[in-house]
Amino acid sequence: MCYSTAPDLVEPDEQGDPVILLDPVPGTYRGDAETAAAACPERALTLAHAASPASEESPR
C-alpha cells in the first residue's frame, strides 16, 4: 500500500514490506513521503525529521 502511493520513494521487498529508496528523503519528495507514511498499515513506515546542520553546531 505505502509503496503504491510513492513509487519513487518506496518499494516492496520480497515479503511485501516497504523499503525506502531515498534516505534522506529530498525536500521535493516530502509531500509524497508523508502520503506514503500515512497510507502504510500498522505504521510500517514513519518519517523522522532530521536536525538542520545549523542546530547541530555547538554553542560558542
pLDDT along the chain (60 residues), means of 10: 85 88 90 88 78 56
For residue 31, what pLDDT is reported?
92
CA angle 54, 19, 53 (to 5 degrees): 5
Give the predicted TM-score (pTM) of the model.
0.68
Instruction: Compute the distance between CA of residue 7 and CA of residue 19 in angstroms, rounded to an integer.
Output: 10
For residue 41, what pLDDT is reported?
82
